[in-house]
């Protein structure tokens, strides 16, 4: 165990820093790093979580440099603003500059780090996260600090979790033997097209407001899915086991492993299946996944893992890997896949938070899935969203 330093002026300053963190709800080191990375102020730097842990635990002999202290104070102000806590008693950046200068003057172990030569920002308002970029989806004009903290982009999350490419469902993919749709303005000789189950006229189906951790009803069995030949009878006949009527597996697939003859139901049948059993959110993901969207396949796999539906999850992970989604096969073979899936769900939730208020119901959906599996950061973010009186409807 590393040596710690619990006496002298250094320890007093470190204790003051720990007190600041405790007063804003003791956010995790990972969350403080994410907040610091949103800042675009000149001279700002990210709070690497390992560095922050070493400093606050007293494992470093020297005092932290000014850039780190400034970034830490700004991140704590941002955490307080997002949690609805008062920031008046946290101290301004200028006051913390004076605290650091006094600690350096009292220590006999100078850091060699030059004191700031320029006056740091004085008002408390300037230490919060920067306002969102123009054009954020679904956001009203003129957000405050509290709204901007969630809307600003987070670089790490976007690198790990690519942004979904589409907001509205795509038309059904053309299948072999399916006649092409007539051009606009021409008469159709066939029967009228089936209404889109995810379109604006669809009513009476599930939504994001349904319990995200609840499995589908026993037997699943929407009529359109079974009539198309993808129902539970053929599924169980080949000895798959697992969830009856899973996501698109048809008779003839290999009983062990993933055979090349595993196929998917048509996009509209698969979407209706998920719409009737899980809700609108997963129905849209299934629609995109059936069109080959690797990220949609991966998100569906994470949802099924957290609902203890491993067969369905492995099927979607296979498709995500075939579509080139990094990490899909690694998650499939992970020794604790459910715990790893909870981390991914948390990252999905953070990504949707950064996209603005219109996406926060989706953020709450993924955060709750992760929180129910013991992910503490996800539980914290879910509490923040609920505190703002946001609903899932």
SS3 274: helix
- Identify the domain boundary among 130, 152, 173: 130
Task: Report the number of distinct structural domains present in the chain.
Answer: 2
The reply to whether 153 falls in a domain is no
Decide if pLDDT at 224 tops 60: no
pLDDT band at 20 (very low <50, low <70, confident <90, very high): very high
The answer to whether the pTM exceeds 0.75 is no
pLDDT band at 288 (very low <50, low <70, confident <90, very high): confident
SS3 29: helix
The answer to whether the CB of 147 falls within 8 A of the CB of 357 is: yes
Give the residue, 166 or 274, on which the prediction is more confident.
Answer: 274
CA dihedral 143, 147, 153, 155 (to 10 degrees): 140
The verdict on 122 and 244 lying in the same domain is: no
DSSP 143: -
The reply to whether 203 falls in a domain is no
pLDDT tens digits for 309-328?
A: 888 888 888 888 888 888 78
**How much is the pLDDT for 213?**
52
The reply to whether 294 falls in a domain is yes
**How much is the pLDDT for 229?**
38
Burial 125-138 (b: 16+ CB within 10 A, else e): eebbbbbbeeebee
- Identify the domain boundary among 130, 161, 184: 130
pLDDT tens digits for 241-270?
A: 333 334 443 333 333 333 333 345 566 677
The verdict on 379 and 235 lying in the same domain is: yes
Main-chain phi, psi angles of 216, to 5 degrees: -65, 160
The reply to whether 343 falls in a domain is yes
The verdict on 253 and 380 lying in the same domain is: yes
DSSP 204: S
**How much is the pLDDT for 287?**
81
The answer to whether the CB of 107 falls within 8 A of the CB of 63 is: yes
Rounded to whole angstroms, how far apart are CA atoms 340 and 24?
A: 28
Among 59-73, 217-231, 334-348, the least confident range: 217-231
Main-chain phi, psi angles of 197, to 5 degrees: -65, -15
**How much is the pLDDT for 324?**
85
The reply to whether 227 falls in a domain is yes
- SS3 sequence, 35-83? HHHCCCCCCCCCCCHHHHHHHHCCCCCCCCCHHHHHHHHHHHHHHHHHH
Average pLDDT over residues 284-301: 85
- 30, exposed or middle or buried, with CB in 10 Å at 0-12, 13-18, 19+? middle
Domain containing residue 82: 8-130
* Sign, Cα dihedral of 309, 310, 311, 315: positive
The verdict on 366 and 234 lying in the same domain is: yes
Q: 307: which 2 tokens?
A: 């609902």
The reply to whether 182 falls in a domain is no
Average pLDDT over residues 299-314: 87
Alpha carbons within 13 angstroms on the beta-carbon side of residue 361 total 12
- Identify the domain boundary among 101, 130, 159: 130
Average pLDDT over residues 82-106: 86
The reply to whether 348 falls in a domain is yes
Tokens 């993933």 correspond to 258
The verdict on 236 and 349 lying in the same domain is: yes
Average pLDDT over residues 145-156: 46
Q: How far is CA 354 from CA 23, 155, 163, 333, 368, in A?
A: 25, 10, 10, 30, 17
Decide if pLDDT at 174 tops 60: no
- 356, exposed or middle or buried, with CB in 10 Å at 0-12, 13-18, 19+? buried
The reply to whether 195 falls in a domain is no
The verdict on 230 and 337 lying in the same domain is: yes
Cβ atoms within 10 Å of 65's Cβ, excluding its own: 16
């Amino acid at each position: 165990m590393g040596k710690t330093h619990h006496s002298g002026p250094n320890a007093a300053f470190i204790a003051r820093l720990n007190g600041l963190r405790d007063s804003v709800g003791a956010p995790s080191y990972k969350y403080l790093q994410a907040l610091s990375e949103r800042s675009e102020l000149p001279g700002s730097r990210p709070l690497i979580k390992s560095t922050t842990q070493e400093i606050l635990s007293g494992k470093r002999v020297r005092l932290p440099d000014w850039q780190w202290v400034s970034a830490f104070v700004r991140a704590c102000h941002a955490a307080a603003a997002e949690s609805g806590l008062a920031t008046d008693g946290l101290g301004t950046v200028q006051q913390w500059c004076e605290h650091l200068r006094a600690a350096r003057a009292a220590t006999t172990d100078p850091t060699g780090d030059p004191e700031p030569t320029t006056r740091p920002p004085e008002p408390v308002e300037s230490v919060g996260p920067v306002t969102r970029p123009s054009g954020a989806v679904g956001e009203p004009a003129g957000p405050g600090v509290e709204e901007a903290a969630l809307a600003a982009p987070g670089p790490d999350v976007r690198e790990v979790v690519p942004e979904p490419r589409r907001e509205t469902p795509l038309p059904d993919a053309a299948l072999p033997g399916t006649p092409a749709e007539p051009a606009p303005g021409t008469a159709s000789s066939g029967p009228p097209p089936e209404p889109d189950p995810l379109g604006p006229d669809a009513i009476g189906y599930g939504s994001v407001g349904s319990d995200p951790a609840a499995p589908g009803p026993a037997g699943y069995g929407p009529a359109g899915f079974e009539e198309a030949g993808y129902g539970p009878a053929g599924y169980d006949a080949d000895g798959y086991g697992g969830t009856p009527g899973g996501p698109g597996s048809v008779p003839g697939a290999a009983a062990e492993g993933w055979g090349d003859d595993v196929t998917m139901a048509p996009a509209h049948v698969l979407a209706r299946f998920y719409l009737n059993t899980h809700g609108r959110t997963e129905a849209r993901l299934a629609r995109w996944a059936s069109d080959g969207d690797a990220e949609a396949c991966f998100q569906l796999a994470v949802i099924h893992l957290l609902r203890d539906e491993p067969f369905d999850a492995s099927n979607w992970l296979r498709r995500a890997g075939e579509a080139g989604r990094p990490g899909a096969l690694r998650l499939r073979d992970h020794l604790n896949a459910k715990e790893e899936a909870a981390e991914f769900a948390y990252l999905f939730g953070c990504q949707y938070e950064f996209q603005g208020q219109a996406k926060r119901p989706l953020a709450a959906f993924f955060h709750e899935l992760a929180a129910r599996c013991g992910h503490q950061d996800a539980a914290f973010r879910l509490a923040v969203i609920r505190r703002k009186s946001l609903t899932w409807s």
